[in-house]
Amino acid sequence: MVLSNPYFRALVFSIGMSVAVFWRLFPENAGDSRRIVLLLSILGVAGIVSTLLVGTFSRRSEKAWPWLTTGLASLGCWVAVAYAMLLLQKTLAAR
């Protein structure tokens, strides 16, 4: 069943976080297309990386992770990856 797939569960939470952050930051960046592309790139990469990491760890565990555990792990991983990418972008943009 699709709902028991750990990758699907992680994907649901990653998409939810990406939509929430985009919804919040879009009005601030609406006039500049470069910033929108950068925002979408960061959200996409953070979503893909967190989905793959959390899905892989969940699948390899002895017991299947419940939805809440998958959601919290996805949230933490998503925030960490997005923050690392934001710091990297700011560091490279300063040069």
Domain boundaries, the chain: 2-93
Mean pLDDT for 4-33 is 89
Tens-digit pLDDT profile for residues 23-39 = 998 888 788 788 888 88
Q: What are the structure tokens assigned to 21, written together?
A: 């952050």
Residue 20 and residue 47 in contact, taking contact as beta carbons nearer than 8 Å: no
Residue 69 and residue 36 in contact, taking contact as beta carbons nearer than 8 Å: no
Residue 75 and residue 54 in contact, taking contact as beta carbons nearer than 8 Å: no
Tens-digit pLDDT profile for residues 35-53 = 888 889 989 999 999 999 9
Of residues 1 and 45, more confidently modeled: 45
Residue 40 and residue 19 in contact, taking contact as beta carbons nearer than 8 Å: no
Element (H, E) at 24: helix 6-25
